[in-house]
Amino acid sequence: VNVLLLFYVLLLVVFQSVVRLWSNAADGAVAPPADCRITAEQAIRLWAQHFTLHGISEPLLSSQYIISHVLGEKTVSFSLIMLRDTLTDRERERVWELGSKRLTRMPVQYVIEEWDFRDLNLKMRPPVFIPRPETEELVNLVLEDLRLIRGESHTTDLRCLEVGCGSGAISLSLLRSIPQLRVFALDQSQTAVCLTMENANRLGLQDRLDVHLLDVIKDADAILSKCNPVDFLISNPPYLLSQDMETLQTEILGFEDHSALDGGLDGLSVIRPILALSSKLLTQRGRVYLEVAPCHPPIIQQLIEEMMPGLLYLETRCDLTNRPRFCILQKKGEDG
């Protein structure tokens, strides 16, 4: 009788586990294993497997970012000792909570609510655009260009306008690197404006930054009255062609603001007003730095040569993968 009873109990436990696994898989959530001792290393492997099973992109990296974030580590390069430590109950619950969010295809940057951009750690919040690595290249390019123009001069003040600041990645990086810089940043999204302010405050850069809720297409006059003049303008605007939007990953389409990405039929719907504004806003020989799609540089060059006599197309720069992605323009001086 005892053996039979034991057999029934065992059967019940197995049945309950299967039901629990099945219902978790159905709503995409995974419950933390109760009373389970698990090390960080094991949790990384387990979650990488879960992610792979559910078709989540970059399964191992996602798992590593989540676990290092929960353990308060910057990157996955935390020490082996920590990897072998057993997670506390609280840590385990948090890993399972964040892992379940990632299973819904939420980008890992929104799951852990932070992301590094150059030397800055920024708060991330959906649906504000997550800064991409090529934009770090844009910032490097500007810093290098300004150094060439200005030498090592730290005496003169500089003024800059960023159109479409998102989380504040570009403006805050520039402010961190150039102590004499004052930045006017604008975005048509209230969430983006709030996030830029929050990141500026966290980094102690708020005193040299003015953030405005403005739309570069509709609010040209207000922008001119608030920011005029500036020594340079920088933007990573929405530049995707509308027809390419549907080719984006579910992670991007489902969570990031489409107006941060979609540049209209030809990808230039925000770039055109930026160019029109530049010739009015820039000081003589002031520059415009744009991140664009690889198809855009020759089109922008033609647009400027044919329609914008006040601007000069200086050059196109390539990104690390050798695709033409950055345009540098200049306002003409009085002598042309």
Ligand X SMILES: C[S@@+](CC[C@H](N)C(=O)[O-])C[C@H]1O[C@@H](n2cnc3c(N)ncnc32)[C@H](O)[C@@H]1O
| Binding residues for ligand X (CB under 6 A) | 129, 131, 135, 163-167, 169-170, 186-189, 192, 215-217, 236-238, 257, 259-260, 270
CA distance 14 to 22: 12
Closer residue to ligand X, CB minimum distance, 252 or 314: 252
Q: How far is the CB of 196 from ligand X (least distance, A)?
A: 9
Q: Is position 236 annotated as part of the catalytic site? A: yes
Beta strands across the sheet bearing 230-235: 209-213, 181-187, 158-163, 230-235, 282-291, 324-331, 311-318
Closer residue to ligand X, CB minimum distance, 264 or 324: 264
Q: Is position 129 annotated as part of the catalytic site? A: yes
Residues 284 and 331: beta-carbon distance below 8 Å: yes
Q: How far is the CB of 215 from ligand X (least distance, A)?
A: 4
Q: Which residue reads 């003040």 in tokens?
A: 157
Length of the chain measured in residues: 336
Q: How far is the CB of 165 from ligand X (least distance, A)?
A: 5
Q: Is position 184 annotated as part of the catalytic site? A: no
Closer residue to ligand X, CB minimum distance, 68 or 189: 189
Closer residue to ligand X, CB minimum distance, 84 or 132: 132
Closer residue to ligand X, CB minimum distance, 231 or 291: 291
Q: How far is the CB of 241 from ligand X (least distance, A)?
A: 14
Closer residue to ligand X, CB minimum distance, 128 or 311: 128
Catalytic residue among 51, 59, 117, 129: 129
Q: How far is the CB of 221 from ligand X (least distance, A)?
A: 14
Q: Computed from CA positions of residues 12, 18, 24, 27, in that sequence, does the dihedral angle turn out positive or negative?
A: negative
CA distance 257 to 324: 25
Q: How far is the CB of 131 from ligand X (least distance, A)?
A: 4
Catalytic residue among 32, 51, 232, 236: 236
| Minimal CB distance residue for ligand X | 164
Catalytic residue among 237, 238, 273, 297: 237
The residues annotated as belonging to the active site are: 129, 236-237
